[in-house]
Amino acid sequence: MKDRNFTLKPVVLATLMALGPTAVFAASEMDELRKTVDMLQKQLQQVQEQLKTQEQKATSNAPPQATGEAPVTRREMEALRKEVATASEWRSPNTLVHLAGYSSVGYEKSQGNDDDGSFTVGQFSPIFHFQYRDLVMLESELEFEIEDDGSTNTNLEYLTIDWFMNDYATLVAGKFLSPVGQFRQNLHPTWINKMASAPPGFGHDGAAPVSDIGVQIRGGYPIGQVRTNYALFVSNGPELSSGTEDGIGFELEGVDAEGFNKDADGTKVFGGRLGILPVAGLELGISGATGKAMVTKVEGDLLPGDNLDDESKRDYDVYGADFNFQYRSFGVRGEYVKTKVGSTSQGLTASGSANWETWYTQAAYRFLPTRFEAVARYTDFDSAVDANDQEQWAVGLNYLFTSNFIAKVNYEFNDGKDGATTQDDNRFLAQLAYGF
């Protein structure tokens, strides 16, 4: 060997130190690193052969040949091994960092208005994953939304620490999307949802829970030839809102099941979902939750001296069922969710029980080999507040540029009740949605 300089090139070493093993390299940088590692490994092999030759000669007492090379010391050998290990670390890092997410922009116009409609920014939702080996992962989604007045609203959609216990179970702790049903936990991102809007009843004060703060165990397990998936959870309970009738009586207005950092009633909610895949392309699911809930706010003016300090707990129960069938380019899915809140005769907002119920069925067909897709959805939402009831037919035509970039054109036929004009207005919606 005529080159005894085993030090990494300064530019490559600086790059490794700055970016670390979890960085995502460009293709040119990856090629450069591969070449550097291969060169170091060849040098290491040559040094090992030279050291072995020196040891054999020393054992045989043969005089060294005049090659013009200085003997390789073990210290230099160890230094080279460390450099090769450092340069190779990026190939098999212990920690992985992944950035994903989705966003959407669009246009909507209500047919009951004479204006030209409005351009909208749906949301920007970056999703972060930080994983250490096959042991643990932190995942989180932020949501940035622009309000009608131009202000920006920021929400933490979910944040969990996931412990991979074994091949069949993962412990998830923190704020997670509700495992009741399918839409909220799997379909709500705009680039996955085939329509430009969520089905009525699957949002704030709807029938379906949105998120929970607690602990869940989820995974899958094969039973013979049948695959299954499951989720079991315990969480803080939801909170209820009540309205006033001319300042005299109270009625339940809505269920706020969007994950609270404090359990207002001190009683936990237990629930879960079981999914069964009996044949290829078909999944059937049942889900539910039970616990307690309590009124924490009133939509209206309280009389002097009124307060919510003595509110009593109410029964809280959720039932759900869902299905999904996919055959080639045709898919149909549906979901049913009912939330029931019990009555109470104690407290300021004492009232009877209340129910929120919704269901939808959606069909989609991809016109292969084109990129066009037709979608139709029917939803019937029955709220405890009659003015929020809504029956909706929605039809749409999508164009899939890629699997994660979709253009949608939808028209909604809305039928509200009790003079709720905003629910009666039919709507035209156009949307570009991108998942990354």
- Residue ranges of domains in the chain: 10-91, 95-435
Who's near 28: CB < 8 A, 6+ residues apart? Answer: none
How does pLDDT run along the chain (436 residues), one tens digit per residue? 434 443 434 333 333 334 444 343 444 555 676 777 677 677 767 766 766 766 666 555 545 444 455 566 777 767 767 776 666 656 667 889 999 999 999 999 998 777 888 999 989 999 999 999 999 999 999 999 999 888 999 999 999 999 999 999 999 999 999 999 999 999 999 999 999 999 999 987 789 999 999 999 999 999 988 999 999 999 998 999 988 765 567 888 889 999 899 998 899 999 999 999 999 999 999 999 999 999 988 887 776 667 787 888 999 999 999 999 999 999 999 999 999 999 998 888 888 999 999 999 999 999 999 999 999 999 999 999 888 899 999 999 999 999 999 999 999 999 987 555 556 789 999 999 999 9
- Residue 28, sorted as left (phi over 0), alpha (psi -120 to 50) or beta, turns out to be alpha
Q: Mapping DSSP to helix (H, G, I), strand (E, B) and coil, where does residue 342 land?
A: coil
Rounded Cα–Cα distance for residues 136 and 130 (Å):
8
| Cα dihedral sign, 104-332-392-410 | positive
CA-CA distances (angstroms) from residue 432 to 200, 209, 393? 21, 27, 21
pTM of the model: 0.77
Q: Which fold has domain 95-435?
A: Porin (2.40.160)
In which element (H, E) is residue 174 found?
Answer: strand 169-177
Who's near 20: CB < 8 A, 6+ residues apart? Answer: none
Backbone angles phi, psi at 39, to 5 degrees: -65, -45
